[in-house]
A and B are shown apart, each in its own frame.
Chain A
Amino acid sequence: MTAQLLDWGIILALVVGIALFRSPRRARLGNAVAALALSCAFAFLLARHTLVSLPLVLITAGVGAAVGWIVAVRIPMIQIPGMVGFQNGMGGLAAALVSFVELTRAGGQSAASASGLSAWLGLVVGAATFSGSMVACGKLSNWIRQTPTTLPRHNTILATLAGSVILVIVLATSPADASAVRMFAGTLAVVSIAMGMVFSIRVGGADMPVLISFLNTMSALAAALCGIAIHNRLLVVCGATVAASGSFLTYVMCRAMNRGLAGVFTGIPQQEAIAPATGPTSNAAPAAADTNTASDATTTPAQADAPDPFEQALATIRAAKRVIIVPGYGMALADAQDEVARLAETLAARGANVLFAIHPVAGRMPGHMHVLLAEAEVDYGMIRELKDVNSEFASTDLALVVGACDVVNPAAIDTPNTPISGMPVLCVHEARAVIVCNLDERPGYSGVPNPLYQNAKTILLVGDAKATVARVLDGLG
């Protein structure tokens, strides 16, 4: 009876922990509460049950905790997305292994029962999430290329793998002897791992926020399935709660890109670059074929720049009283968040009203930009979400875009049939002046050319954003 009460006590503490996630300070408390709750779960379990190989268990737990702690303390925020992916994978791995052992051990789950089925599913979901998360981690850490890798007959491969999974489960849940069950389980593990990899490899860089949220959900689901299999309430509740969180984030990310889940996972093919001929927001419209030009090239008649664009930009920045800064993944890649933060401070100290406008899918995971800016010591009171800030651009002197392209692309508003059509974007083109600090004039991840670059009020400062912003700071200071 006390065991039940303890379980519910821990669950209650976890609920409180999540409920506290409203402001950063309270969230920190909530996080500590949740950590304490799970530590208690660990301790209570050790107290309630005698474990075989206890020293081994304790040493492993100690080492795992130490390694986890050290990595967590030392990792730079730039690598957070990769880290989250990796940890997710670890969660999936643990669930898969527990399910596997439960199914194959003597006296473990009867493979043919309802809870046995749960264990099979836990194995599949856990293993697929493990490999899928590792691939995601690789993409997020830039070890694997960011563009979607589509295998020939990708859908067929996935379907075959999924079909095999179902087949094996059906075979396994009919009465089978122990060695057959082991064989089935082993096969299932391998097939699931392959499935996870094939699934993840097709998702491209800008869609990573969706993938990582989805994988978050799946590893939680694996834990819940594991919990159903071993009749453990705590696992089921925790798994369900986290699955709710992950699925909600996945939904938010899809909405923010105006793409369906299926579209993200099947990898919408790169569109041929389309000339923004009819876009009312562009002033000059050369064909978008070759836009990779050097920084001070005068490619468009609308920007007959006799003056150096940098000097122009500096003058505009000096004169601006209301500034909105729009960071994108490019800022993270250029590691420019410190410079951008210092620029915001400098401008604010000079009396300008400075805000940061963050698109929900800027970056590679939900909330990515916020954390980078927070690490750079930006006052989070300056940060605004798209829905709150979009109406402000019209009354803004300067919109400063750093490393963002698709999220500020007006083509999403008026050009149909592109990968980003209908996606809510930040209306920087409504500001009085626009400065873009991007690496080059190439289209963003979606491949859709950005008419913002050709706009008469846009000053384009191409090159490494870190260097560019540092130059601006020098020029101002």
Chain B
Amino acid sequence: MADVLVMLVVFVVAFVVGRALILRVPPMLHTPLMSMTNAISAVTIVGALLLFTRTLRPAETLLGVVAIAAAVFNLAGGFVITDRMLGFFRRKGPEAGDLRRPHHTAREQTAPPGPNGSGETA
């Protein structure tokens, strides 16, 4: 019982901290935020894996395997989609439509104005 209480406290603290962090996310990034947090909630994979620390009956093995597949799908897919989406956001510079700027290709990401605008990104 005490253990559960501790967990509840952890829950509340994490919720409050999480809320404070999320408040600062600009609306423009809400969709990638949703897909990333979706992936994070697939941490359930840990729970699914822990099921396999003890012997399981065949039916339970099946359910466990499905749980793993679902969680991993969520995990891999979520982070990859988020990365893809974020890759689309681009700034073409302070003046949108400045004719002198070359048109940026899909693969290039603009770095913010810096000493040697190398354009390398994460």
Contact = CB atoms under 8 A, between A and B. Distances in A.
Interface in B30-56: 30-56
A264 interface: no
Nearest to B5: A114
A360 interface: yes
B83 to A, nearest CB: 6
Contact of B15 (A72, A223, A234, A240): A240
Interface in B65-79: 65-79
Contacts, number: 384
Contacts of B73: 64-65, 67-68, 71, 87, 90
A69 B80 contact: yes
Contact of A97 (B33, B35, B64): B64
B3 A65 contact: no
Contacts of A203: none
A94 B70 contact: yes
Interface stretch (A211-219, A314-322, A412-420): A211-219
B102 to A, nearest CB: 13
Contacts of A235: 43-44, 46-47
Interface stretch (A157-165, A191-199, A377-385, A467-475): A377-385
A383 B26 CA distance: 12
A77 B30 CA distance: 14
B61 to A, nearest CB: 6
Given A93-B66, A245-B22, A51 B49 contact: yes
B37 to A, nearest CB: 4
Dominant SS among interface residues on chain A: helix
Contacts of B75: 38, 65, 68
Contacts of B79: 31-32, 34-35
Which of A19, A51, A374 has the largest count of B CB atoms less than 10 A from its CB?
Answer: A374
Contacts of A105: 54, 56-57, 60
A382 to B, nearest CB: 5
A247 B22 CA distance: 10
A28 B83 contact: yes
Interface stretch (A42-50, A270-278, A295-303, A403-411): A42-50
Contact of A64 (B46, B55, B72): B72
Given A77-B85, A236-B7, A377-B106, A87 B71 contact: no
A60 B72 contact: yes
Given A91-B42, A97-B67, A367-B33, A380 B90 contact: yes
A183 to B, nearest CB: 14
Contact of B121 (A28, A50, A247): A28
Contacts of A381: 91-94, 96
A98 B39 contact: no
A428 to B, nearest CB: 19
A348 B96 contact: yes
Contact of B4 (A91, A118, A242): A118
A245 B37 CA distance: 8
Given A18-B22, A38-B75, A241-B17, A226 B90 contact: no
A230 B47 CA distance: 8
Nearest to A83: B81
A256 B43 CA distance: 31
B72 A57 contact: no
A371 B31 contact: yes
A380 B89 contact: yes
Interface in A19-35: 19, 21-25, 27-32, 34-35
Closest 8 CB pairs of A and B: A348-B97, A244-B18, A367-B30, A68-B77, A64-B72, A241-B18, A367-B31, A24-B89
Interface of A: 14-15, 17-19, 21-25, 27-32, 34-35, 38, 41-42, 45-46, 49-54, 56-57, 60-61, 63-69, 71-73, 75, 77, 80, 83-84, 87-88, 90-91, 93-95, 97-98, 100-102, 104-105, 107, 114-115, 118, 212-213, 216, 219-220, 222-224, 226-228, 230-249, 252, 345, 347-349, 351, 354, 358, 360, 365-368, 370-371, 374-375, 377, 379-383, 385
6 contacts: A21-B36, A94-B45, A105-B56, A240-B15, A347-B97, A377-B104
Given A66-B76, A101-B51, A374-B90, 19 more contacts: A18-B22, A50-B53, A51-B49, A52-B54, A63-B69, A68-B75, A87-B35, A94-B70, A101-B64, A104-B60, A105-B57, A220-B37, A223-B47, A232-B47, A235-B43, A237-B11, A365-B34, A368-B31, A385-B27
